[in-house]
Structure 1
Amino acid sequence: MSVRHPALARAESFAATYGLRRALLLAPMAGACPPALSVAVMRAGGLGACGALLMQPAAILAWAEAVREAGPFQINLWIPDPAPVRDPAHEARLRGFLGRFGPAVPPEAGDAAPPDFAAQCEAMIEARPRIVSSIMGLYPPDFVARLKECGIAWWATVSTVAEALAAQDAGADAVVAQGAEAGGHRGCFRADQAEAGAVGLMALLPAVVDAVRIPVIATGGIADARGAAAALLLGASAVQVGTGFLRCPEAGIPPAWADALGGARPEDTRLTRAFSGRTGRSLATEYVAAAAGPDAPVPAPYPVQRGLTQGMREAAVKEGDLARMQAWAGQAAGLARAVPAGEVVGGIWEGVDELLR
């Protein structure tokens, strides 16, 4: 009679708690989580995900209805930053700089604001996902209480041990430990700590596991069975994959971005504030390099910088120009496979089972 490896047994127990066949989760990537991608992951036994940062309440509800029959899913929101400090003269310099990479930036571009956070929270309650997750901070106590009343679990994304302890104290049902290898935005509670506190997953994960009593989900730099098995051995109850799904046809990202991911080495990515004002990891493209140059103006705070770069980003997608594209990428991007998402789920989890058998 074979005995299950303790790491596999822990993952299987976690998966069963949330109605999953595999403890493999799609990362909630804002702008890159179409329903088709989640449905494919869910049908393969994993968890679907929606990064709802930029979505109006009606869009959140429509997304949930589009995937609901396929299985459990999570919806994720950013906790709003304090209101940005505006500097019109500096924004004018930024508009001039950005005009070299895309269309002229109108003075009002920096005024663009994200959707109303309270209305988005109401939409998530109405959508009734199995899990609501957070990034960039913690939900207010009254919203956490409402989630629990509705039987909705709350997973909090954290990037340090201190954040994990704060999330546990605030009532989180699990924490998502995000290593600095992750593509896209860093989940730090404070924007000014996103680069100074860039802790890698293999150091962060066991420290968080040892510090908290609730399950820990590992994310950042995981794109194959080896990374997933290592995370489970270090104490994770599940693994969350983002960049590893972006080359799947269901993700629908621009071909230039998808192709570049496949050839990227870890050193071909870098942390940058040049797209949104919040630190994230992207491919080290020409625009990203130029924005880090000694003569480039410092990016404006979030969400001002995002508004200022919108025209450039949209033009880059329309023209298929990777050099100016917001091409988020984790350090394991080169492991991403251009195959259906269900095949990615199966390949990772079957490999984990073989490695930990």
Structure 2
Amino acid sequence: MAGGATTPDLVAAVAGAGALGFVAAGYLSAGQLRDQIAAVRDRTSRPFGVNLFVPWRDTDARTDAYAATLAPDAEKLGVELGTPRWDDDDWAGKLELLLTDPLPVVGLTFGCPAGAVAALRNAGSAVAVTVTTLDEARAAAAAGADALLLQGAEAGAHRGSWTPDAEPVPLRELLDAVKTVTDLPLVAAGGLADRDAVNAVLRAGAWYAQVGTALLRSPESGASPAHKDALVKGETTITRAFTGRRARGLVNEFIRAHESDAIEAYPQVHNLTRPLRAAAAKAGDTDRMALWAGTGHASAQDAPAADIIHALAP
């Protein structure tokens, strides 16, 4: 979970409980990722992985008009909006780091560049690719993925889809479709926040279950106190308002006010709203925070991460 929700303490706690924790490399520089990996290694000798954001295609969407609609929110929080620039999330630097210092597993989200898959596998890492449709699953398998991370429509935060027009597919429907076309290990993700939900996807053909929102309220999580408190109530929706890319979060006033004007421009809008989102989180302003959450958010427990993992295990 990028953006600070995943911490070295959380990765280590999950690993120590017998699951596979992932360092979230999104929005980190290569140097910051190196430090995060070292911090996890200081805390555990158990295996863990890293998840990378594949660079999103540059878009021509105009951001000026959308920025104008956000100006009152920024003024309310006493910050300036960011520059709506495109960047590649230091993709090359982080990839080089993982090629020279391999980890057991590397996850790829937002795409599946075959060259990167081959290079990571040659370095000794298994590569797990996030897919949201049957076509993406077929393409990832053809590119040499070792496992497929099936992200259902119920999943919190950013859709891992490879194209902006990929319609969200419910997890069970996605799992039923993909298991008929590949023998690769399938990891189910999306709305899984209790043991019954985990058991259901395992019985349906998933090899493993992946969780995120279920861990957000743990003390090891880096989610803000306001975000943790908000998880116990409310409803979720998929929105582009915060980052210019579809993501699932709790409905709040920011989404209600801006979703109709939101544009498909990632990471430009992400960079535009970054100061606003950070200020809202610092102020505990849940009306303007990006409260990322999956549909199982109400089941998230305020408990140590290891206890949560044990409670979810079949």
State the TM bucket, normalised to the shorter chain. Answer: over 0.9
1:61 aligns with 2:34: yes
What is the identity, as a one-letter code, of the residue corresponding to 1:282?
A: G
Q: CA-to-partner distance for each residue in 1:224-281, whole Å, 9 max, x for gaps?
A: 10010001001011000000000101002111110110224xxx00000011111000
Match of 1:248 among 194, 213, 218: 218
Partner of 1:283: 250
Cα distance in 2, alignment partners of residues 38 and 145 from structure 1: 26
State the TM-score, normalizing by the size of structure 2.
0.94
Aligned equivalent of 1:118: 92
After TM superposition, the structure 1 = structure 2 runs for residues 52-131 of structure 1, keeping only pairs within 5 Å, are 52-68=25-41, 69-87=44-62, 91-103=63-75, 109-111=83-85, 113-131=87-105
Q: Is the 8 A contact 1:61 1:127 kept in 2?
A: no
CA RMSD in angstroms comes to: 1.7
Higher share of residues assigned helix: 1
Shift of 1:223: 0.8
* Aligned-partner SS, 2:231: helix
Shift of 1:38: 0.7
Separation of aligned partners in 2, 1:304 and 1:59: 21
Identify the residue that residue 231 of structure 1 maps to in structure 2: 201
Show structure 1 runs of 5+ residues with no match.
Answer: 1-27, 353-357
Question: Alignment partner of 2:306: what SS?
Answer: helix
Distance 1:229 1:108, change over 3 A: closer
Q: Give the letter aligned to residue 195 of structure 2.
A: A
Question: For the Cα contact (< 8 Å) 2:245–2:264, is it kept in 1?
Answer: no
- Kindly tell me the number of residue pairs found equivalent between the two proteins: 310
- Once the 2 structures are TM-superposed, how far is the Cα of residue 162 of structure 1 from its aligned partner? 1.1
Q: C-alpha separation between the residues in 2 aligned to 1:310 and 1:220?
A: 25
Determine if contact 1:183/1:328 at 8 Å carries over to the other structure: yes
Aligned to 2:174: 204
TM-score, with normalisation over the residues of structure 1?
0.83
- Answer yes or no: is the 8 Å Cα contact 1:61–1:126 preserved in 2: no
Question: Which segment drifts farther, 92-101 or 49-58?
Answer: 92-101
Tell me the SS of whatever aligns to 1:271: strand
Letter in 2 for 1:175: L
Which consecutive unaligned segments of at least 5 residues does structure 2 have? none
Residue 84 of structure 2: SS of its match in structure 1?
helix
Give the aligned residue type for 2:198.
Answer: A
CA distance in 2, matches of 1:271, 1:209: 26
- Structure-2 change in CA distance of 1:125 and 1:321 (3 Å): same
Determine the C-alpha separation between the residues in 1 that align with 2:253 and 2:274: 17
Identity %: 36
- 2:305 is the counterpart of 1:341: yes
Alignment partner for residue 272 of structure 1, among 239, 242, 246? 239
**Which structure is larger by alpha-carbon Rg, 1 or 2?**
1
